[in-house]
Structure 1
Amino acid sequence: MNKREIPAALRRAAEQLPMPHSQELWEMPVSKQTELDYITAQELPQVPTRRRAFLPALTCCIVLLFFGWFWQYRMVETTVFLDVNPSIQITANRRDRVLEVTGLNADGRSLIEGQVFSGLPLPTVLGQLADTLAQRNYLTPEKSTVLLTVQSRRQSHVQELESLLSSSIQSALEPRKIAPAIILQTYEEDASLQQAASQQQVSPGKMQYIRQILEEEDDYSLEELASMSLEDLRRLAQKEAGDDWEEDDDLEEEDREDWDSEDQEDDWHASQSEKDTDDGGQEDEDSDRSDDLEEEDDPDEEIPSGEDDGEEDEDPDDSEEGDDN
């Protein structure tokens, strides 16, 4: 029998085996397996007890490290709004490293296009933006108003940050002979303020500045002020505070005049006393000199009264004796 004949022989043998009926197969008793044999048993890997206790601690450490890294480097800690005519929003982490720079209007988006600021120090980015604003003539010696609005989770850090950012802007504009008029304000987050800023297409920082002006100025509406440039808003704010400044200037001028008159009177009295002192000393010196000159040079020196009386007595006697003779 060759290899080709073997399959055919096996097939014939299988066909000749007795085939039980299906009903008989269903009714056959089945004994359940009470224990796993070597085929059905599946051995699970045993984890050592020490490793099982170490895994939760390692997981906690990984979570804490990730949270610490995210808190230090990826969480927004500070938000700065820079307004000239372009409006720009800058977010930074706890280490004052910039996370994102966003243009809030068309000019702002055009200003930052093609520039990469992520990871740079916040003062450096403010200096670069100020220099770009000067290059594109948004800032000139005639138009130099800058509105800087700062918000931070750490309130104690706001004042220090405002000083650093102002110095950075001034240093960047100094080579261009521009002295910026920087308006500093701390941002107070408000949902209604953000909604109004979105409707008027201005930054929340500028909207906060507009609301401060509206508290003193009733002749303008919110829409009119939102359409004004920052330079005009600054002039309007100065105009509203001008009356108080003029009163203060008048008071300072009156005080200055009083001080000047008092100072002039004191100076006059002091000069007079010095003059009297000088004149008195001069008169004393002149009198001393005159006395010395009289004692030395006066030819008509008076004779003591006693001697004059004796001579006068002798003269009459002599004349009488001569008459007798």
Structure 2
Amino acid sequence: MKAIVVKTGNKDAVLLSDDGVFIKARNQNNPLGAVVDMDTPARKKPFAALAAVAAAVVVLISVGVFAYSTSYYFISMDVNPGMIIAANRFERALSIEALNTEAKNILNDIEWKNREIEKVIQNAALKIEEQGYLSDHGEILLAAAGRNEEKAAEMAKRLAISINELKLGDVAVTSEAVGYDMVQSAKAWEMTPGKYNLITKLLGEHLDEANVETFRNQSVKELMESYTAAKGLPGKETAVEQRSMEATQTATETRQHTEQRGTEGTQAATETRQHTEQRGTEGTQAATETSQHTEQR
């Protein structure tokens, strides 16, 4: 018979069997929710079974409430408005912190409480666009941190896709996963993890009291332009031109290679034809000599 562990104690555990009976058994250090095999036990008395049911219900409700109300993900979104969203393991928004006045104005106009995190991000992006923050090659920076790094990385990718699905126009969306320690460091400087990562990791800047206010007030677009200039990377237009030049160069090399192979093929065909003609001439000459030799004999 199989049973599910619904409560654990120091010595005993409460199991729910596959036929709906609650059973008290010795604690084998199995976690809550584990499925275990056990021998068929004697049935409990009605009062004991009722008490076990009540205890299990309380445990399940407590576990569910704790899981729902506990922050599992921290999502930051930056344009110039910057905000941090705390979400539970069910990917529902629990709280949002606006880090500047612009973000407060955005959050006043959207529904977010207990909403799916992707929907909250989409609504915020639409409101940001509506207020003109994404005009002239806008930039959106997303960062996701979580108790599970792989899930945080997956979350960052899905959030970027959800914004791209809005088709906001000429808007660049950057998303990445960051560590939980970066969330804490960013909070200490009153900025989002995404912007903190951009400043300290990509730009290599050291934040202090003298420069933090300047960086805090810069938009993502301004920071990305600084990063592009510092690293000598091409901007949007230059990058497009560079890709076009690379494509043209590749096409030219391919054409030249094809022409060269064609020339080599023509030359080989000519040599083969000449060789065939030479062998034909030699064959005719040999036949003539054979005929003459026969007549002579």
Common fold: TM-score over 0.5: yes
* Deviation for aligned residue 1:54: 5.4
Question: 2:14 aligns to what?
Answer: none
1:146 to 140, 145, 149: 140
Q: Aligned residue for 1:212?
A: 201
Amino acid at match of 1:94: R
CA RMSD of aligned residues (A): 4.1
Which residue pairs with 1:171 in the alignment? 165
1:84–1:226 CA distance, 2 compared to 1 (3 A): same
Change (3 A) 1:276 1:265: same
Q: Percent identity?
A: 20
Query: Once the 2 structures are TM-superposed, how far is the Cα of residue 150 of structure 1 from its aligned partner?
Result: 0.5
Give distance in 1, aligned partners of 2:122 and 2:183.
30
Partner residue, 1:61: 56
Q: 1:127 to 1:259 in 2, by over 3 A?
A: closer
Aligned pair in 2 of structure 1 residues 273, 190: CA closer, same or farther (>3 Å)?
closer
1:72-83 correspondence runs (5 A): 72-83=67-78
Q: Is the CA contact (8 Å cut-off) linking 1:187 and 1:205 kept in structure 2?
A: no
Q: Distance in 1 between matches of 2:198 and 2:183?
A: 16
- TM-score, structure 2 as length reference: 0.61
Corresponding residue number in structure 1 for 2:217: 227
Distance 1:282 1:82 in 2: 74
- The answer on whether the counterparts of 2:78 and 2:142 sit within 8 Å (CA) in structure 1 is yes
Aligned 8 A contact 1:72 1:93 in 2: yes
Q: Matches of 2:187 and 2:161 in 1, distance apart?
A: 32
Give ranges in structure 2 of 5+ residues lacking alignment: 1-44, 236-241, 281-291, 293-297
* Aligned residue runs from structure 1 range 10-89, under 5 A: 53=48, 57-58=52-53, 60-89=55-84
Counterpart pick for 2:155 among 129, 150, 161: 161
User: What is the rounded CA distance, in whole Å, between the counterparts of 2:165 and 2:183 in structure 1?
Assistant: 35
The answer on whether the counterparts of 1:83 and 1:146 sit within 8 Å (CA) in structure 2 is yes
Alignment of 1:228-267 (within 5 A): 228-242=218-232, 264=256, 267=259
Aligned-partner Cα distance in 2 for 1:180–1:84:
11
**Structure with the higher helix share, 1 or 2:** 1
Which residue of 128, 134, 150 maps to 2:129?
A: 134
Partner of 1:184: 176
Which deviations, in whole Å up to 9, do the C-alpha atoms of 1:45-85 show, x marking residues without a partner? Answer: xxxxx687457635532431122212442221111011111
C-alpha distance in structure 1 between counterparts of 2:46 and 2:177, whole Å: 56
Q: Which residue of 2 aligns with 1:99?
A: 94
Higher strand share: 2
Q: Distance in 1 between matches of 2:82 and 2:68?
A: 25
Deviation, 1:222, is 3.9
CA gap of 1:267–1:122, structure 2 versus 1, over 3 A, is: same
Contact 2:140 2:171 in 1 (8 A): no
